[in-house]
Structure 1
Amino acid sequence: MISFLLLCLALGFMVIGMPVAFAIGVASLVYFLLPTTFMPDATAVQRIIASSQSFPLLAVPLFILVGHLMNGSGITPRMMTLASTVAGWMRGGLVQVSLLLSALMGGISGSAVADAAMQSRILGGPMIKEGYSKGFTAALLSVGGLITATIPPSLGLILYGFLGEVSIGRLFIAGIVPGVMLTIALMIATAWIARRRDYKPVHDRLPTFREVIAAVKASFWAILFPVWLIVGIRFGIFTPSEAGAFAVAYALVVGMLIYRELSFAAVIDALLMSVRDIGMIMFIILLSGAFGYVITFERVPQTLAELTLGLFSSKVALLFTISAFLLFFGMLVEATVIVMLLTPILVPVITAAGIDPVHFGLIMMTLVTFGGMTPPVGVSMFTVCGILNCSYKDYTVELLPLAAAVLTVVAIMICFPDIVMFLPNLMMGGH
């Protein structure tokens, strides 16, 4: 009961505008100050410090830095050329190009909001000039960023793995198939919309083999990055944390020595932007350490596990119920915050029910990230609509068929867990 009141208190602080980190931290501190808990106040400070003492946590700042370095390294325009060559012949060509670009950039940027903002600046204007409505353009570019949340290296999966003590390597590999499925589902939905509205392709013919090879050659080093990442983790060359260090070195070498577009000034800018982002995220992580301790100390996961196991005899029914809750919660609270608050609670529950935490992690990240693209409090929605000067009403109407495609993929992931798990089981072995 106390834990539920603390969760409500934290959410209440967020609603009135208190920064997320402070909302979580103050709510946690209240617990330690209660006369009924009989716990030393110093425990709160100890738990905050203990949260920083984690080797896997090094992956977070490193991959944030990689995302900023990649944007200034000349990789994005080359990926854009490749996507345009491969998908530009399809009906609704620019839209299909944006989805393919999201899939290609997923292994580089690691952030759905960053991907949506980048594409809105690059493709938003040209798409509107080509006759696509502002609402459809904004909705498509926002939801396209969802692909980034699943294709490795996803920052959300790193945080989930760290907080839930789940293998980040397995999560990375498991994200490949759902990422591809989301790309295909959204491209099919887009093709259906484009046919109804007679949206034209960018190119009037299929690309020739020579054109595709030329585009692949131009972006070869960028395409190689996620491949190196997966191969390195699979064969034990480096851990996910060490993969972040490798990725930073790779971005510097490709940007400065191969493409020669990453200047010293751009590196400094990337470092400054990364420090700002890292400071915000790490502060939330540290203060959520105290909150997680309270949740565990109050035996919330065990209580929920006993309750849910008594109510649900079917794993599928349990997953659909939790998914509905996550989707609703994701519409109100930012994805990173949900991962911080709910991962320590939900992972023991689904593990007790016999559900693989890697399988659940992909479902959870897809839903809470998608929540950020929906009204009323979607960070991606606000970002894209702000850049394109689009009304939230038009955005919401155009979002509906794309949302149907996303939720269909999630339903398939829930009903057929082997689709998610066969690749990590094949490459890293089963439990």
Structure 2
Amino acid sequence: MLIFGILFVVFLLSGMPLAFTIGISSLAFFFAQSDLPYAIAVQKMISSTQSFPLLAVPFFVMAGNLMNAAGITKRLVKFSTVLTGHMTGGLAQVSVILSTLMGGISGSAVADAAMESRLLGPDMTKQGYPKGYSAAVIGLTSLITATIPPSVGLILYGFVGEVSIGRLFVAGIIPGAIMCLILMVTVNLTMKSKEKKGICVIPRMPKASAKELGTSFLESFWALLFPILLIVTIRFGIFTSSEAGAFAVVYAFVVGAFVYRELDIKSAGEVLRQTINDNGMIMLIIACSGIFGYVIVYNQLPQTMAQFITGITTHPQLLLLIILVFLFIAGMFMEATVNTLLLTPIFLPIVTSVGIDPIHFGILMMTIVTMGGMTPPVGVTMYTTCQLIGCPTEDYVKESVPFVAAIIVEIALLLFFPQIVMWLPNVLFPV
């Protein structure tokens, strides 16, 4: 186990791709154990990918790429601008609303941040927003996609922890809406402060008329309808989560090809190429994490961690707070997908043993590990937005402080008032 741990840390710090870091360090454990046949490692790699619920991941990834190519994203940008472009913060407010709407499409914080950096970043710079502020707003608001369905992270958490994905989807709606409101207030306060200090003065957009709002809504109708259809079909048993993913692909194709008529053969080919790349990366991580999971179970790491943490406290909320701090630190060094696959089997049994609902923990876990990707030292989302907008990471870090503080406030609310998370799934999916 010592060799496994040392190699994992060394490979991680050296910048080796995470799938190979997990896979090679896990295989080293088998080489060091004379009583373990190597065939187990191969079997675990294969068996970790042989799951019907896991089919939801490649389907939703493809659906997100299709919707981006189908003109749905463009219409959501316009609708978000019509809704909030006249507010204090202008395009920064648009970023918050767009992330909320895109949560039901991209399902990925990194994908959302990259898309918004390309679409909104240049215009924000032209209007006078400091680049660090633009990057911080776009990077941190993409966190909303961690809970708004269909979050890929929630699908993986439900798959690994054997938790209802339908209940997880529904549970993320209210926390996502609250985060949207909190971040909009943060944008308002920070921009007023900058304008008062003379750092930047952003011209206000004219307020859209009712006719413009109605026209934009109708243009975005098919995009806005998607997450509603997703929840309804899962709730009433029409589709499982995996079947809903397949439905999402068909829906995106039909809307793009026959409603908006922007999906042609060339763009469809690019969608397939991007989807193969995305899914190849995700599935390789999942396959390698299958070996990793066997290693930690073989060495009884979940039981050891449970004894250690419950030895500190058995108070549910305090124990959950300790775990969330650990998850946030882990999120700073590893991508959210990897943390979900590796740490869910360790911490989920601990929290359920003290009476914490796995749905409640799942929403908190995905929020906190995804936020880790937006903070130094190796936050993937942070570096993505900084690179695309062209700003130093230190400017991003400085400007991100009020947004991180706002998100911590929301996490505290969800931690101490679990009914905020649990009310909607309990109503729609009564146990």
Shorter-chain TM-score bucket reads over 0.9
**Could you say which residue in structure 2 is the equivalent of 1:204?**
206
The CA deviation at 1:303 is: 2.6
**Distance in 2 (alpha carbons) for counterparts of 1:161 and 1:94:** 35
Cα distance, 1:210 vs. partner? Answer: 2.8
Instruction: Determine whether 1:59 maps to 2:56.
Output: yes
Residue of structure 1 equivalent to 2:155 = 158
Provide the residue aligned with 2:237 in structure 1: 236
State how 1:254-403 maps to structure 2 within 5 Å.
254-403=255-404
State the Cα deviation string for residues 147-192 of structure 1 (Å, max 9, x = none): 1111000111111111111111111111111111111111001000
Q: Give the C-alpha shift of residue 32 in structure 1.
A: 1.9
Alpha-carbon deviation of 1:31?
A: 1.9
2:31 paired with 1:33: yes
Question: Which residue does the alignment assign to 1:20?
Answer: 18
Return the offset for 1:260. Answer: 0.3
TM-score by length of 1: 0.96
Quickly say closer, same or farther: Cα 1:8–1:334, change in 2 above 3 A. Answer: farther
Measured after TM superposition, the shift of residue 8 of structure 1 is: 4.2
Partners of 2:194 and 2:22 in 1: CA distance: 47
**Equivalent residue in structure 2 for 1:68, among 65, 72, 85:** 65
Shift of 1:306: 3.0
Aligned AA (1:261):
E
The amino acid of 1:197's aligned partner reads K
State the match for 2:110 in structure 1: 113
Percent identity over the alignment? 52
Q: Can you list the C-alpha shifts for 1:41-73, whole angstroms capped at 9, x where unaligned? A: 211111111112110111111111111111110
Instruction: Tell me the equivalent position of 1:189.
Output: 186
Q: Helix, strand or coil: the match of 1:340?
A: helix
| Alpha-carbon distance in 1 for matches of 2:15, 2:164 | 35
| Displacement after TM superposition at 1:94 (Å) | 1.1
What is the correspondence of 1:33-182 to structure 2 with a 5 Å cutoff?
Answer: 33-35=31-33, 38-182=35-179
Q: Residues 212-235 of structure 1: CA distance to partner in whole angstroms, max 9, x if unpaired?
A: 222111110010000000001100
Mapping of residues 409-428 of structure 1, within 5 Å: 409-428=410-429
State the shift of 1:15 in Å: 1.5
Distance 1:370 1:261, change over 3 A: same
Q: What is the CA deviation profile of residues 373-407 of structure 1, one whole-angstrom value per residue up to 9, with x for unaligned ones?
A: 11111111111111111011111100000110011
Q: Provide the secondary structure at the position in 2 that maps to 1:213.
A: helix
* Mapped partners of 2:6, 2:339: distance in 1: 13
Instruction: State the match for 1:218 in structure 2.
Output: 219
The whole-number CA distance in structure 1 between the counterparts of 2:272 and 2:329 is 35
Q: Residue 3 of structure 2 contacts residue 29 of structure 2 at CA under 8 Å; is this kept in 1? A: no
**Which deviations, in whole Å up to 9, do the C-alpha atoms of 1:115-136 show, x marking residues without a partner?**
1111111111111111111110
Is the partner of 1:390 in helix, strand or coil?
Answer: coil
What is the count of residue pairs matched by the alignment? 426
Cα-to-partner distance string for 1:88-127 (whole Å, 9 max, x where unaligned): 2211111101110110111001111111111111111111
Query: Which range is displaced more, 315-324 or 17-26?
Result: 17-26
CA separation of 1:320 and 1:8: change in aligned 2, threshold 3 A: farther
SS of match in other structure, 2:48: helix
Deviation at 1:201, TM superposition (A): 5.8
Distance 1:133 1:6, change over 3 A: same
Which residue type is aligned with residue 145 of structure 2?
Answer: T
Offset of residue 339 of structure 1: 1.3
Compare 321-330 and 194-203 and name the one that shifted more.
194-203
Q: Distance in 1 between matches of 2:363 and 2:410?
A: 11
SS in 1 for 2:385: helix
RMSD: 1.4
* Counterpart AA for 2:24: V
* Residue type of the alignment partner of 2:75: R
Tell me if structure 2 keeps the 8 A contact 1:74–1:255: yes
Residue identity opposite 1:293 in structure 2 = Y
Query: TM-score with structure 2 length normalisation?
Result: 0.96
Unpaired segments ≥5 residues, structure 1 = none
The answer to whether the 8 Å contact 1:305/1:352 transfers is: no
